[in-house]
Amino acid sequence: MTATTTTPRQVRKPFGLRFTSPLLLGSSLNPINSSMIATALVGIGMDFHKGSSTTATLISVLYLSSAVMQPTMGKLATIFGARRVFLAGVTILLLGGIIGAAAPTFGFLAVSRALIGIGTSAAYPTAMALVRKRADGLRTGVPSRVLGNFSIASQVTAVVGLPLGGVLAGAFGWRAIFFVNVPLALITLVFTLVGVARDEPTDSSGRSGLLTAVDVVGIVLLAGTIITLLLFLSHLTRPVWWQLAVTVVLGAALFGWERRAPRPLIDVRMLGRNGQLLRTYVRQCLASLGMYTALYGTSQWMEGPAHYSASQVGLILLPLSAVSIVVARVVSGRGWVRWPLILAGVHFTLTGVVMLGITHTSNVMVLIAMSLLFGFANGFSGFANQATLYVQSPADEIAVASGLFRTFAYIGSIFSASLIGIAFGAAATDGGLHIVAYVVGAIGVAILLMTIFERNIPNTTR
């Protein structure tokens, strides 16, 4: 039986748990590892006698490797098959978890985090490719509920990662943060082998042909461009201008190379013709920037001048997660696309307006209302941007397009840290919170205008 052969059961329920559960689990491992490490940094620093600035590199290593490898893994999926690359990524994650759990030195932990970033980066672009292939093969149309599940899984695991990491580190020590990837990877491997059909055989080629197909030069230039850009954005309080100059040079070299490459990593000609897809990337970057700027900015402010404890801050922000999940489920169930993007812009704007009126003496109910607005903005934008990407991407480019989609989200989230640093300076203040409010409100207006004037965004996935 080939990968395109389907059984009657598959036709009746093409996106059942047997097929989707390993893809959802695999796609959740990147966000959960991104947040879970935060609770282990103090213990790691004590055991290896490292300061907070050194242990924080474990966070940036995963972000940087993920931002580079998401589109790269998408490219590899188009060459070697999405299922093969998905399984290879999970195997790399398994290796990274073992190395981190047994790490004798801090350097091994850095290697482990890089491997975890690389391995988990394979999941989302390959999962999107597998979903698209099945949907197109069975002519089911856009599987909006499946896309909604991916959005919800990412939101849930990003939030759950922090308390889960605290429980694991508290009960078993920081090494459990790395070891937990081992059983998760093994479960994902087994479920994938059982529930996801094999890829079709790939054409064999020589070494030179393989290097051309993979576009090694494009991968190297993309990695250099993204890494120098993210390094520049992460230190905007004290900008290192040569990093920006290197980013521009490498970006220009990447653009020039990809225009001439026979099988480019990023089809810049296609993107030039597909301006709507580029604008979707920008909207996703803005949504990520707005969400993390608001979330991390208000968290620091509440624990600072507002004098709330960490547990109280968690409870205040709890409605954010609940509302995000409910909204994403409702929107994806009905396949709405255009109006959720408009409402996301509206709610980001309203969040900024409410934040402008908040001071350290504000009632807790106002903060909860602000948290609810966060949740609406996040729930509306998460599924709708993902569905827009799905509709606008060519079928044979969906893996790379999905990887770039995640890369733009990483750019937004890393940029948010610098914006918060600029707004607050040495310490969080009411004035700094109001600067954050202006930024979030402006992002909301930008998303709103981009959506209103973008005529090619469908009203629904149908």
> Do the domains at 1-204 and 275-462 have one common CATH topology?
yes
- Using CA atoms in the order 53, 54, 56, 60, what is the torsion angle rounded to 10 degrees? 120
Determine phi and psi for 286, rounding to 5 degrees. -65, -40
Among 208-222, 233-247, 270-284, which stretch is predicted with the lowest mean pLDDT? 208-222
Selecting from 1.10.287.3510, 3.90.1170.30, 3.20.20.70, 1.20.1250.20, what CATH number does the domain 275-462 have? 1.20.1250.20
Tokens, residue 326 = 């409910």
Q: Is the pLDDT of residue 212 over 70?
A: no
| Amino acid symbol at 376 | F
The C-alpha atoms of residue 261 and residue 268 are separated, in whole angstroms, by: 10
Taking 70 as the threshold, does the pLDDT of residue 98 lie above it?
yes
**What local confidence, expressed as pLDDT, does residue 12 receive?**
62
User: Is 50 exceeded by the pLDDT of residue 6?
Assistant: no
Q: Directed axis angle between helix 57-80 and helix 17-36, to 10°? A: 150
DSSP 305: T
How confident is the model over 361-381, as pLDDT tens digits?
899 899 999 989 988 998 899
Domain map of the chain by residue range? 1-204, 275-462
Q: pLDDT for 107-116, tens place per residue?
A: 999 999 999 9
What's the rounded mean pLDDT across residues 303-324?
Answer: 80
Best-predicted range by mean pLDDT (228-237, 238-247, 307-316): 238-247
Q: Count the residues in the chain.
A: 462
State pLDDT tens for residues 10-43. Answer: 456 778 888 999 999 999 898 888 878 877 887 8
Structure token pair of residue 455: 């005529």
Going by pLDDT thresholds of 50, 70 and 90, the confidence category of residue 397 is: confident
- pLDDT at res. 125: 94
pLDDT digits (tens, 9 = 90+) for 150-202: 888 877 776 667 667 777 888 888 999 999 999 999 999 999 999 998 888 77
Contacts of 436 (CB under 8 A, 6+ apart): 293, 294, 297, 298, 301, 355, 419, 420, 423
Single-letter code of the amino acid located at 306: A
Average pLDDT of the chain is: 86
| Segment 67-94, tens digit of pLDDT | 889 999 999 998 899 999 999 999 999 9
What band does 275 get if pLDDT is binned at 50, 70 and 90?
confident
Query: Which class is 1-204 in CATH?
Result: mainly alpha
pLDDT score, position 95: 97
- Angstrom distances, CA of residue 78 to CA of 144, 218, 261: 23, 15, 16
Locate 348 and state its tokens: 């980001």
Candidate ranges 67-81, 261-275, 407-421; pick with highest mean pLDDT: 67-81
